[in-house]
Amino acid sequence: MRAKVYRDAWGIPHLRAGSPDELAYVQGRNVAADRAWQIEVERHRSQGTTAAFLGAEAVGWDRFVRQARLDGTARRCFRSLDESTAAWLTRYVDGVNDSLAEGARRAGQFAAAGLAPGRWEPWTPLGIWLSTHILFAGFPTKLWREEVAHALGDDAIELFATDGNRTSGSNGWLVTGERTVTGAPLIAGDPHRFIEDPGIYQQIHLSCPEFDVVGLAVPGVPGIAHFAHTGTVAWAITNAMADYQDLYRERLRRRGAQVESLGPEGWRPASAHRETIEVAGGDPVEIEVIETERGPVVIGGVDEATAISLRLPSRVGGDLGFGALPALLRARTVAEVDRAFDQWAEPVNVVQAADTAGGLLHRVAGRVPQRHRDNKLRVVPAWEAAHEWRGPHEPLPRESVDGIAVMANQRGLATPLGVEFAPSHRAERIRSLLEQSAAWSAKNFTAVHMDTQLASAKPLLELVSRVEGLSTGATLLRDRLVGWDMRMDAESTDASAYADVRSAVVRRIAAHPALRELAERVEAAPYPQVFAPWLALVTRVAFALERLLTTDALPGIDRAAVVREAVEEVAAAGRRATPWGERHRLAPWQALPAARPEVWPGLSGDHDCVLSTSSVPGLTDLSSRGPAARYVWDLAEREDSLWVVPFGASGVPGDAHHRDQLPLWLRGALVPVITDWNRLTEEDMTSETPARLRKAVYEQTVDGFGTVRIVPLTPAADVDLIHGWVTEERARFWGMADHTREQVLEIYEYLDSLTTHHAFLVQRDGEPVALFQTYEPDADPVGECYEVQPGDYGVHILIGPADGRTERGFTGEILRVLIAYVLADPAHRRIIVEPDARNQKAIERMVRAGFELGPEIDKPEKRARLAFFSHEPQERRG
């Protein structure tokens, strides 16, 4: 069977090959084509080389990764793989390497960052897995607890023990056939992570004679690990909140050229060498990398007052559990999924699975070392034998499934393995909702995904309700909050009022004299910047607020007085009653942010809602964490399953499927899972694809007119066509009438290198009919000629020669499609055009299309007439 790539209407890749190894190769090629920039950033993150193109701000991460020896651990774990898994992994990497340069040409970020695509090694996917999950167990929390114990006493070490905004929020639930309309189980959920653009999960379909699997893959890693459906069995995971990484306080010394560390058996040699971090726009940074018998030193060093090492199961055992990945792809039953997860290493997860034969699974998977309880709580002395790891790994809990099983990072199944867990609110709310029906289907699970009840608000609201003697404005605010339904809906102004009071309470507690010593300690703590989020007092108070309002562990704080002052503060501020969604906006992480700030949409939800869209009360209402995907696996019929991701299948800006799922994700809608090959479109992945066969960024069929496709312009392939168009007399206002072929090629190759400007060919029924260019006004000379507004997007349009076309209205139909394409992106609120002021024909055409005329402006090359088209964004059609 020849390997093939297919796409559905949402651009989701469906890959087919004759063997698992060949399929791995095609998966590697596909991810390099769709996500080249993303996976190259992840490769550099795993190697500690991001500062070389991202600059000084990335040095902290690079230092940590190198000192933690993640790349070396990846190499060690690769060497321990069985021959079959190593070969499978290598074929994936071969595919990446063979397509990376082509993928990089599609991604303008490479040129913007001055980065050339590199070469992947067979262990690179293991390194990416490590760097993606190294902070999942939250070992920096032990640094925080150390400071709490020193400032408030050992009895207070767990005072702030609640989930933070970096560790939890994921939901998963399994409903057995007794509670579904089909009589077969359903599995659903939504992994909670930092929302990244492109997204951390890639929807994908992998098929060969040995297996046929749909699921959510991690770009840069072969197979499908976390969430998948093989047709007869499906599984999903959440973070178990287990503690499996330890921090040791080291004593180091130099003996000549040798570094030594003090362990239970005395002074022992430690490995040490120096590395250089290259920094774009700055001087190189030299670091010392030290590893003791416990692990790599990630804080301080031999010449510093503090030295702390990190011990990881994967580095100690040389096994990252990658043998589970191909085993999961081949699984047909719950028993086979169970056996595959026996190989799992990290992160430690709660797993749910169900199969078509009635099998059910609810267990923990991963490796948790046996050791002293203090190891889980804080930094422990390396020289005390009591803190050494001992014996086999901790036994992994499991339990039977009776109708409903819920996993939401809460204390429960995984309790013996961890210290801090998420509050039980999400888990209890999900169970309560599921118990309300015995007729669940994949489609009606959306109501669970999108639930916005905030049970954690109760303690604060109870204190608010008891406050008396308030000013008139504060009394009105109190009464308003007491009557609030505790739903963090985007349109709710009461939710915003609650958030204001909550933030004021958080700030007042964090600034209270009772916590002054703790604040001073964390401010002066000698820890790298990469650990700062775990040591931020306001953040810690924000996520422990419910506990701090219901415990006497801080007797010096008069909670009623704090709440009174907060209510008065918010009332006196007189802040306009804005809907929650106007302030609680999406704030995704981008390795290379856009040239101008994007206006991201507002969100419903909050950290402790089932719709867990996390902000940091007291600091910001923006949400950088949330559901990185949503899924529903139907065991009755796989094609009745549903899924969605925050952005889209493609990581290429401007691609039709870069952000086409965002409107659906915002409102809780899901995309159908398609596995019928007859409903898919085969794709030619060769780099020499002619324009008529290129993948469109947008496509629309217009009744009575034809199919209009917008495809990326390839300068080298299209220069003859474009040169012919722009040098015609009819195109004199385009400004290239006297340009040579080489000059036109140079112009469009330069445009192709930019992330802010793009060029496209417009086709009707496969034939090129127009040249279409887009740009961000802030990054263009036109931005200096008028007041650019958020959401402005500029375009240039050159209609090609008629070539026999005689129908009236041709240009108008093309313009309508181009306008629809631009406004399909919710970030684009207004289209800007700037035809030559002498080109009256073009100006009249724009007016007929609905543009409003603006002023004339003087640009270096022409006097232009501005025109603007505003419209409510519409969903992109693929």
Which CATH number covers residue 347?
A: 3.60.20.10
Domain boundary among 601, 626, 651: 626
For residue 848, tell me if it sits in a domain.
Answer: yes
For residue 71, tell me if it sits in a domain.
Answer: yes
CATH number for the domain spanning 729: value is 3.40.630.30
Domain boundary among 640, 662, 687: 687
% pLDDT > 90, the chain? 81
Q: Phi and psi for 740 in degrees, rounded to 5?
A: -80, 170
Q: Report how far residue 110's alpha carbon sits from residue 91's, in angstroms, rounded to the nearest whole number.
A: 25
DSSP assignments along 189-206, one per residue = EE-EEE-BSS-S-EEEEE
For residue 228, tell me if it sits in a domain.
Answer: yes
pLDDT at 878: 35
pLDDT at 732: 86
For residue 262, tell me if it sits in a domain.
Answer: yes
Q: Report how far residue 324's alpha carbon sits from residue 85's, in angstroms, rounded to the nearest whole number.
A: 9
Let me know whether 683 and 758 are in one domain: no
Q: 1 pLDDT band (50/70/90 cuts)?
A: low
Average pLDDT of the residues in 567-584 = 93
Q: 126 pLDDT band (50/70/90 cuts)?
A: very high
pLDDT at 694: 67
Three-state DSSP state, 391: coil
Between 515-524, 544-553, 612-621, the lowest mean confidence (pLDDT) is in 544-553
Q: pLDDT averaged over the chain?
A: 93
Q: 827 pLDDT band (50/70/90 cuts)?
A: confident
Let me know whether 201 and 235 are in one domain: yes
Between 45-59, 434-448, 780-794, the lowest mean confidence (pLDDT) is in 780-794
Let me know whether 414 and 516 are in one domain: no
pLDDT at 688: 43
Q: With 0-12 CB in 10 A as exposed, 13-18 as middle and 19+ as buried, what is 153?
A: exposed
Let me know whether 360 and 341 are in one domain: yes
Tally of structural domains, the chain: 3
Q: 826 pLDDT band (50/70/90 cuts)?
A: confident
DSSP assignments along 709-753, one per residue = EEEE--HHHHHHHHHHHHTSGGGGGGS-TT--HHHHHHHHHHHHT
pLDDT at 719: 86
Let me know whether 491 and 364 are in one domain: no
Let me know whether 6 and 102 are in one domain: yes
Let me know whether 264 and 340 are in one domain: yes
pLDDT at 409: 95
In total, the chain counts a number of residues equal to 878
Q: At what angle do helices 715-726 and 741-752 cross, to 10 degrees?
A: 130
pLDDT at 586: 97
The range of the structural domain enclosing residue 582 comes to 455-626
Average pLDDT of the residues in 30-37 = 96
The amino acid that residue 669 corresponds to is: A
Vertex 614, ends 578 and 493: CA angle to 5°?
15
Domain boundary among 626, 647, 673: 626
Per-position b or e across 663-698, b if 16+ CB within 10 A of its CB: bbbbebebbebbbeeeebeebeeeeeeebeebbbbb
For residue 536, tell me if it sits in a domain.
Answer: yes
Residues that are catalytic: 170
Residue with tokens 């290379």: 592
pLDDT at 691: 59
Let me know whether 681 and 777 are in one domain: no
Average pLDDT of the residues in 717-743 = 88
- What are the residues whose beta carbons fall under 8 Å from the beta carbon of 400, sequence distance 6 or more? 360, 362
CATH number for the domain spanning 619: value is 1.10.1400.10
Between 299-303, 656-660, 751-755, 788-792, the lowest mean confidence (pLDDT) is in 751-755
Q: 805 pLDDT band (50/70/90 cuts)?
A: low
For residue 154, tell me if it sits in a domain.
Answer: no
Let me know whether 340 and 425 are in one domain: yes
For residue 146, tell me if it sits in a domain.
Answer: no
Let me know whether 422 and 391 are in one domain: yes
Let me know whether 593 and 642 are in one domain: no
Let me know whether 574 and 669 are in one domain: no
Average pLDDT of the residues in 598-610 = 95
This prediction has a pTM of 0.82
Vertex 145, ends 140 and 150: CA angle to 5°?
135
For residue 598, tell me if it sits in a domain.
Answer: yes
pLDDT at 876: 35
For the cut 70, the answer to whether the pLDDT of residue 686 exceeds it is no
Over its C-alpha atoms, the chain yields an Rg (Å, rounded) of: 29
Q: Which one is predicted more confidently, 40 or 752?
A: 40
pLDDT at 167: 59
